Structure 1
Amino acid sequence: MSIANSTETIIWQGKPSHFLNLKTYIFCVLFFWLVFPLFILLWKIIQLKSTKYTLTNQRLQIKTGVFSQQFDELELYRVKDMRYERPFLLRLVGRGNLTLFTSDATDSLIILQAICQGEQLRQQIRQAVEDRRGKGSRRVQEIDMFNG
């Protein structure tokens, strides 16, 4: 993915960990003699390898897909809230899941799964969101409307 604007800089790039598919990998190893699980194993590895997260100072880009690729972009000023979770098994390998709650029409919930240094990334996103909301002609403020 290319960055269109020269003032846009890459802050972080990452991929989900293979530890995310641990149960599938164990199943495939236990039943390798059936041959079919080897195809499942190979597919899961390829799927994970083809997922890429890129955080710039303006947006979060997510590339997924093996045969058909999908590119999602989230403008950082649309991030409303974040949650960082470290389930026990992911915690053992220093990974976690970062959930972004957004005001984006197509992706109101984005989960970056099994990422390394998630707490540091959460802080980087928070800082980038604040910078993005306060700079330029966009000066964005979030307004919540409640029907009651």
Structure 2
Amino acid sequence: MTIQEAQARIKARVWQAVAQSDLDLTALDKNTLESFVDLVTESAMLEIDSELDIPNLKTSQVTIDEDEDEDEFGEEILWQGRPLLSLVFYYTVTNERIKITSGLLGKAHENVELIRVQDIDHSQTFGERLLKIGDITIRSHDPSHPEIVLRNVQNPSDVYEILRRAVLDARKRHNFSYREEM
């Protein structure tokens, strides 16, 4: 089920509960009532997401203890997150690469070295802006993964900045310069 489908189902349930309740809502105009239902739906989605959250893996920037600032390969973890309402995808950005882990019981791993990243973009639809989520598109020279999309990331502009700075730092650290042809 996609986030839009889940949101539509929750919204339908809220409307159903309003219709079946004994509340007198005739004093509210249609726009106010629709705004109220949208607010309740958004709150329900955020609550569901917080309940699905796994300890030590937050949807926004992680504050990591001094002892836990490196992963199992000795790389510095810059950001960890997961898509809104997802149990099967986990994203990690280190100072060397972007790691995407998928799967609930079995696990699949995708890695893109930061030095191979060509371009990073982020986008949000109107509904995603209300939920403060968005997609980050990463284009790279990696032959197996030329384009990766981190979907439904919480605070995408913050994650975009973390990625952009990490790519620039990786290029500087490896003495890599990028030259455009005219």
Query: RMSD of the alignment, in Å?
Result: 2.1
Deviation per CA, 1:26-71, whole angstroms, max 9, x where unpaired? xxxxxxxxxxxxxxxxxxxxxx202100011111100002343210
Per the alignment, do residues 50 and 127 of structure 1 end up closer, same or farther by CA in structure 2, a change over 3 Å counting?
same
Tell me how many residue pairs correspond in the alignment: 113
Which residue is 1:33 aligned to?
none
Q: In structure 2, how many angstroms separate the alpha carbons of the residues matched to 1:13 and 1:133? A: 21
1:94 aligns with 2:132: yes
Q: In structure 1, how many angstroms separate the alpha carbons of the residues matched to 2:107 and 2:180? A: 34
Which residue is 1:118 aligned to?
156
Q: CA deviation at 1:89?
A: 1.4
Which residue is 2:176 aligned to?
140
Q: In structure 2, how many angstroms separate the alpha carbons of the residues matched to 1:93 and 1:144? A: 37
Which amino acid in the other structure matches residue 136 of structure 2? Answer: L
1:66 aligns with 2:100: no
1:55 aligns with 2:123: no
Q: In structure 2, how many angstroms separate the alpha carbons of the residues matched to 1:70 and 1:53? A: 12
Q: In structure 1, how many angstroms separate the alpha carbons of the residues matched to 2:73 and 2:178? A: 25
Q: Which runs of 4+ in 1 moved over 6 A?
A: none
Which amino acid in the other structure matches residue 66 of structure 1? Answer: L
Q: In structure 1, how many angstroms separate the alpha carbons of the residues matched to 2:84 and 2:175? A: 36
The two structures have a TM-score, normalised by structure 2, of 0.57
**Larger strand fraction of residues:** 1
Q: CA deviation at 1:144?
A: 6.8
Which residue is 2:79 aligned to?
12
The two structures have a TM-score, normalised by structure 1, of 0.69
Q: Which runs of 5+ in 1 are unaligned?
A: 19-47
Q: Which runs of 5+ in 2 are unaligned?
A: 1-69
Which residue is 2:55 aligned to?
none
